[in-house]
Amino acid sequence: MASLRETRKKIKSVKSTQQITKAMKMVSAARLRQAQNRILQARPFAIKMNEMLTHLAGRVILEENPGEQALAPHPLLKRNVSNKVGLLLVTADKGLCGSFNTNLIKKAGEFIAKNKDKEIHFYVVGRKGRDFFKRLGFGIKGEYAQIFSSLSYKHAEIIGEDLMKAYLEDGLSEITVIYNEFKSVIQQKLVEHKILPIERPPKISAQEEVDFIYEPQKEQLLEALLPRVFKSQIFRILMESFASELGARMSAMDSASRNAKELIEILTLKLNRSRQAIITREIAELVGGAEALK
């Protein structure tokens, strides 16, 4: 009987877990639809901003050709020469999303190994990445936890300002971001991308394209556009990562629910077999006792 009680307790426990995983899957699915809509709405703005930036930044003079009459280079387009690099790692605040956080941390470890001879400045989004590197004793220059529950452009502005300040004032040679790009519910692409200095498009010549009359001047436009484009890029990265997290959690909870169902079936079969064995044994004892009385 003790074995039956234990099996029933296991079945009850697995059923409770199954209810939780199903609920988490439904919540993730609902939030994922909202996250996908936000990404689709933000893309036209990002495309148009990049077009404007390309048109202006393509006229930035190269430092080796200072005699050309063109726009002076912006500080975010210049490459600093130093032994310092920056890393922006975008992880999740919560677990239960499969290998989402593990793959990001592993990729960050590879980045550290490649730059072991350099001074790395860490900027970490999400509690999982922050806690991991703090346990290892790494100093974190900027940490941004619990932002995905109410993600907005304001968060991208704060992170963008910190990164631009570090690049311009601390003299970082480059800043790299590691995050998961959303492809589908079951697929996320791990991305390692250099975000500073901003990549400058090829210089546009007069033969390639006719220039326009700008109001205000090109210098003022570029001064205003570059930080805004950079922050919009950070915002897109945060939205991509959040959608990827929800997709990974939805997939993980769906898999957990199916595993729970299979385990319940196995335990139920075990329970029925144990009961059948007990009943058979009791019948055999009754028949044996009846035969002994004859």
Which residues are within 8 A (CB) of 115 and not within 5 positions of it... i.e. 6 or more apart? 85
Contacts of 34 by beta carbon, 8 Å cutoff, 6+ apart: none
Give catalytic status of residue 97 as yes or no. Answer: yes
- Please, what's the b/e burial string for 168-203 (b: 16 or more CB within 10 A of its CB; e: otherwise)? eeeebbbbbbbbbbbeebeebeebeeebbbbebeee
206, 224, 273 from 214: Cα distances, Å? 16, 14, 83
Measure Cα distances from 112 to 86, 130, 132, 249 in Å. Answer: 11, 15, 14, 27
Catalytic residue among 76, 88, 92, 97: 97
Q: Give the residue numbers marked as catalytic.
A: 97
